Amino acid sequence: MASIRRTLSPYNDRSHQNGANTPFSPQSPSQKQFPQGKTTFSPVRRLVAGVFFRKHQTRKNFQFSWNKSLLRCFMCFFLGFLLGMAPFNSDFSELRQGDLRKSDFSIEWKPEVVSVQKSAGDLASIEKLKENDLLVGAIELGVLDKTDMKKVLDFVAGKQLIVVSPTYSRAIQAYYLNRLGQVLRLVKPPVLWIVVEMNEASVETAEMLRNMGIMYRHLVCKKNNTDVKDRGVHQRNTALEHIERHRLDGLVYFADDDNIYSLELFESMREISRFGTWPVGMLAQSKNKAILEGPVCNGSQVIGWHTNEKSKRLRRFHVDMAGFAFNSSILWDPKRWHRPTSGPIRQLDTVKEGFQETTFIEQIVEDESQMEGIPLGCNRIMNWHLHLEAHELAYPKGWVLPKNLDVVIPSK
């Protein structure tokens, strides 16, 4: 064993001799400057050195040379195998650089109907995508990195819509939730409906959500009722916290359960990049007339505002809660968006009534230049904010009306 150690010892011994702490050097092991002292080595180093530095073998350990020859053979084979793989890898890196045609893969392109309405630029990209069957192959093989893959998938499937609805128990809650749920069911996926209740999740809402057939999250806002002015504000904040914590990706839209929404509104929203806005139709019950609140646009550029209420003239942005949507990553990726404020983005319960929307929006955009009037929305009304509450009506347990039998069929 001593001779083996001597044979295999140069690197450590030399570093020791030089007083340096360099365990390995590319110098030839045949250099005679190494002392023949006994030093111990790890089995791996012994093996590697033994395989490659045969010169130091003596007759005594001739028997070992067979094993070593075999090992050498195996390692040469292994090296050859690795080299054989090299061109394969370089093709993949070419794929990443977009030079797709150089590769020899031929994966069949299965044409898919992309029915989400897209801009002319996007349609051109779809054509490009069809040409590049390799891109599809690259996705299937997992060759594209995560970001590239996400870009492609985003644009084929359409951006996710994250619809936030605060709700509470009242006589017509079932009607409102069912109506909104059924609209959302008709919107092309992906749509995530976040329904938030105060204090506890009601059985009725949970059951309705279970049977609706859409993706949802049923959240509960735990907030001491005594210091709450507007419960809806805290419920929306519970949803914002959830989106931020779980980094949900999509376009956030506050859809109160009692408003009226058209399908095209949800499709149009998908075009938003940072913050999109549109005018909402409202019914001023006191004046018995319909009014508009929201942006006046020139193309997608916001150039002014519709507003009718004098008490709200001092607002910075004249947008209704149902008249805007924004990219969820603004909540959890502030650096990407150069946000005007640094803290968490939340609705404020302390502001004057009617100022909730503007104080919220001021945390997301600096001015109108960072807003987009959505393509279909600036000259059309696509949703309505009506005030048709029946606050006095009692909430029927389980949404069942058991004592509703007013006419009894007389028995013969």
Footprint on this chain of ligand UDP (rule: CB under 6 A): 165-168, 198, 231-232, 235, 256-258, 387, 389
* Residue 320 is a binding residue for Mn ion (CB under 5 A): no
- The minimum distance between CB 379 and Mn ion, in angstroms, equals 24
- Tokens 């990195």 correspond to 145
Binding mask 217-256 for Mn ion (x = CB under 5 A): ---------------------------------------x
Cβ proximity to ligand UDP: between 100 and 172 the closer is 172
357-392 as b/e: b if 16+ CB within 10 A: bbbbbbbbbeebebbbbbbbbbeebbbbbeeeeeee
d(CA 9, CA 15): 11
Cβ proximity to Mn ion: between 165 and 328 the closer is 165
Which residues are within 8 A (CB) of 281 and not within 5 positions of it... i.e. 6 or more apart?
Answer: 290, 291, 292, 381, 383, 384, 385
Catalytic residue check, 200: no
For ligand UDP, the nearest residue by Cβ is: 232
- The minimum distance between CB 258 and Mn ion, in angstroms, equals 4
Could you give the maximum distance between any two Cα atoms of the chain, in Å? 124
- The minimum distance between CB 327 and ligand UDP, in angstroms, equals 22
Cβ proximity to ligand UDP: between 166 and 281 the closer is 166
Identify what 295 binds: ligand UDP, Mn ion, none; CB under 5 to 8 Å per kind. none
- The minimum distance between CB 381 and ligand UDP, in angstroms, equals 17
* Residue 258 is a binding residue for Mn ion (CB under 5 A): yes
- The minimum distance between CB 168 and ligand UDP, in angstroms, equals 4
For Mn ion, the nearest residue by Cβ is: 258
CA 305, distance to chain mean position in Å, is 32
Identify what 168 binds: ligand UDP, Mn ion, none; CB under 5 to 8 Å per kind. ligand UDP
Which residues are within 8 A (CB) of 104 and not within 5 positions of it... i.e. 6 or more apart?
Answer: 91
Please tell me what DSSP assigns to residue 312.
G
CA angle 132, 133, 135 (to 5 degrees): 70
Identify what 368 binds: Mn ion, ligand UDP, none; CB under 5 to 8 Å per kind. none
User: What is the size of the binding site for Mn ion (CB under 5 A)?
Assistant: 2
Cβ proximity to Mn ion: between 105 and 395 the closer is 395
d(CA 325, CA 389): 25
H helix runs in 224-307, sequence order: 231-245, 263-269
Residue 116 · residue 188 · CB < 8 Å = yes
- The minimum distance between CB 221 and Mn ion, in angstroms, equals 17
Backbone angle region of 224, left / alpha / beta, with phi > 0 → left and psi within -120 to 50 → alpha? beta
d(CA 364, CA 275): 8
Cβ proximity to ligand UDP: between 198 and 364 the closer is 198
Annotated catalytic residue, options 204, 271, 293, 357: 357
Identify what 235 binds: ligand UDP, Mn ion, none; CB under 5 to 8 Å per kind. ligand UDP
Identify what 165 binds: Mn ion, ligand UDP, none; CB under 5 to 8 Å per kind. ligand UDP
Identify what 257 binds: ligand UDP, Mn ion, none; CB under 5 to 8 Å per kind. ligand UDP
Which residues are within 8 A (CB) of 406 and not within 5 positions of it... i.e. 6 or more apart?
Answer: none
Where on the chain is the footprint of Mn ion (CB under 5 A)? 256, 258
Catalytic residues: 357
